[in-house]
Amino acid sequence: MYNIRQFKPTLYLLVTMGICGYAMAAESPGFFIFPTLLILLNAWLVKTGRFAPMPRWITNAGTLLCLLWATSQFVGARQNTILVLGQFMIVLQLVKLYEQRANRDYAQLLILSLLLMVAASINTASLLFGILLIAYLFLSLYCCLLFHLKVDTEHARSAMALPESLRTELTLRQDQRNLTRSMRRLTVLVSFASIASAIAVFLFFPRGMGAGLLGPLQLQPSQALTGFSDQVSFQRIAAISQNNQLVAYVQVWKDDKLVQGTQTLLLRGITFDIYNGNDQEVGQWQWSRSKMLSQMTDQVTRTTPTSAWESSSYRPGENVWKQHIVLRPTGTPALFAIAGAYSLSSSSELSIRQLKADEILQSGEPLNSQIEYTVLSRGYLANRLTPSDAHAFWQRLQEMQFREGGGYSPDYGSDGRGKYRRYSQIDPAIAAYALRPDVGGPLAVKRDKKAEVTDDDEEIAKKIEKHLQTQFTYTLDLTDSKRLAGQDPMVWFLSDQGHRGHCEYFAGAMTLMCQSLGMQARLVAGFKCDEYNEYSKQYQVKQSHAHAWVEVLTNRGWLTFDPTSGRLTPPPNAIAGAWQKVKHLFNYLEFAWANNVVAYDNDNRENLVANLNQQLTHSAIQSHNLFTSIRDWLHLGSEVAISQKIMTIFMALLVLVILGGVLMFVYEKWRLRRRAARIGLAALPPSDQIRLARQLGFYDDLVQLLERHQIVRPSHLTPQEFSDSLSYLPSETFQTIGRLTAIYYRIRYGRQELSSPRQRQLGNVILRLQNFMQSDSGHISS
């Protein structure tokens, strides 16, 4: 009996991997670093013999304090329940490491580590975590087998109490050498069998609608991160961090030709045309949508995989931009698309509405799960709200409000659900800034503010755009701004103390300056993306790609302007470094993981089964066509063909040949196992038995030859002792048996290999020995 030296290092590694998986799920490296340092300290103490278990009262007190803390977190609902349980289990594992006294503590460590990985699995669907989980499952099985062997060894040692002097050191070393290899093979065999079963269950018993333990947990994002929002507010000015979380994958075709990163995408999400200014009742320093934008909608349409929403705005001959979008949960109803969307189809049931005034697409409710849809767009906005249409709409809106008894004010209109400001509240300083010669120029000064659209509006918008791009600085850090309390952030941005901000400041300032001149302008929030993944042939849209730009109504319709400086990206398809390519490869693998594993549901299962049936049917048809072609090739004449009986005989012979091959294979395995048992190899692993049985066939023939001459090896004698006991035989016979026994030992314990010529040579030696023993004469040599 001996110690299982691999168990403790494996256990330490297993516990560390469990904590690493939890840290990945919680997205907190601190949960990995500090516990790992304590684990390494414990391993060093045990290795150097300095470890002493902590007193029971200390461990019990620490556990109770941690339990009280976890209870307070549950009652106060301050954190996610699963994450709190994970933190509690980490503390319990550390306590068990430092109080380990018996096998019971090791068993509890294994169980706690497994529960911790289960908690982590509930909180993340990351590809990295999936890879770690697979490795963890392999290692946990290996560790459990080692633990079982350790316990049985200790029980056997205590039961036998074998003195040290009676232990065979050679046998112990041989067993120790084979232990690790046999345990690993057993672990791999059981693991692969389990994984194969799990894959089969996963493929044919999906998780309903894709939710469950593998479904991603939607945590509340930090407010200090860049990202898309259906609200634009300037009440908080702070340092904003880049959020590189992937929000969508977009594949684009222009006129049926795949766009491979050669263009920058502008995906519209929502528009705002009213700035509330200092109005605290409606929303201070916030952008909102006027009643005109909010109420002019198409009828809500519910799309399914067999139906689609379509608009009549497309005209033959226009460019067609096809976008296949996989959109992760955003918490908003926005459905992103290139401008001019006129058709949308979804792989799942989805409520769709289009806001006619600004051609925005929305779902019936906020998106809290991943969706996949295809959009067809023209690539530009139609002039759907002409100046005359806008004037007539305002007249109807005022009459409707008056009839409802709500009265009419030049600032607000009410529909019984809330207030809508008719016009943006624009500070006079903003209007004065737009009239500066270096901003709007003479065209802005002479523009008639009562006119809906003029011939100069496009040129004025271009001058304002260029001024902001060249004279202002883009930044996300506004913590050191010296704004006075209550000052309009748009006024501060345009002042000498400002001149810097993020894209919402640039777009907001340009929108207000255009509106102050009487132009129709609106702020657009969405995504601007040029990050293309060559592996998946898709654009990768991240939260950091969230952007705001401006749309202005001109004589050519609604035109897009992007006044943000610092957003002039380098040409697409610039040579990416090796690290960027690695990131794109990983993002592609994560996309495949999310689509094919995390989002696998009943629809995917049905598609899989249908594809399998189609492939089987196709294979059967091909086989039939093959036999038909063979029959036609063997056609003996215009009227004489091979009969069906001959074909049946041919197929029967083919089946018999295959069956005979299988039987020969099984017989060979059985024969080798019988040989292994005769020459004392039954205690070895099956693979070693087969290998040595093939190599030691000559020795099995020698033993059977001696048995036919009534010379049987007693079971208590080793092969060498048996060979030495045959000294009464003729010297040539005795020496030949001795040499064959020596070769047996070199192969059995020295791991030598016999080549095919050498095996044939030893077979000839056995044959000459047989002839010599039958005739009691002759010369035998090896």
Torsion angle (degrees, nearest 10) of CA 586, 592, 595, 598: -70
Relative orientation angle of helices 602-633 and 169-204, to the nearest 10 degrees: 100
DSSP H or E run through 341: strand 341-346
* Dist. CA 597–CA 121, nearest whole Å: 13
Distance of CA 149 to the CA centre of its chain: 36
Closest CA to 90 of 9, 161, 31: 31
* Tokens found for residue 758: 């050498």
DSSP H or E run through 309: strand 308-310
Q: How many CB atoms lie within 10 A of CB 205?
A: 9
* Dist. CA 637–CA 639, nearest whole Å: 5
Instruction: Output the pTM of the full model.
Output: 0.57
Q: Which pLDDT belongs to residue 539?
A: 93
Unique residue bearing structure tokens 């048992």: 677
* Dist. CA 708–CA 567, nearest whole Å: 94
Phi then psi dihedrals of residue 537, to 5 deg: 60, 40
What's the pLDDT tens digit per position in 391-411? 555 455 444 443 333 333 334
What's the pLDDT tens digit per position in 745-758? 888 887 788 888 88
* Dist. CA 343–CA 536, nearest whole Å: 24
Name the CA radius of gyration of the chain, rounded. Answer: 40
Q: Which pLDDT belongs to residue 57?
A: 82
Distance set, CA 708 to CA 608, 701, 730, 774 (Å):
63, 11, 17, 11
* Dist. CA 230–CA 526, nearest whole Å: 9
As beta bridge partners, residue 374 has 324, 345
For the domain bounded by 428-527+548-572, which CATH number is listed?
Answer: 3.10.620.30
Q: For the chain, first and last CA: distance in Å?
A: 41
| CB of 228 closer than 8 Å to CB of 331 | no
| CB of 80 closer than 8 Å to CB of 219 | yes
* Dist. CA 419–CA 408, nearest whole Å: 12
| CB of 226 closer than 8 Å to CB of 546 | yes
Q: Which residues of the chain have pLDDT under 70?
A: 1-4, 74-80, 156-184, 186-187, 198-227, 230, 233-242, 292-307, 312-313, 382-422, 479-485, 566-613, 616, 619-620, 623-624, 626-647, 776-782
As annotated, the residues of the chain forming the CATH 3.10.620.30 domain(s) are 428-527+548-572
CB proximity list for 231: less than 8 A, separation 6 or greater = 286, 287
Q: Which pLDDT belongs to residue 513?
A: 95
As beta bridge partners, residue 288 has 274
* Dist. CA 724–CA 75, nearest whole Å: 81
* Tokens found for residue 526: 């969405």
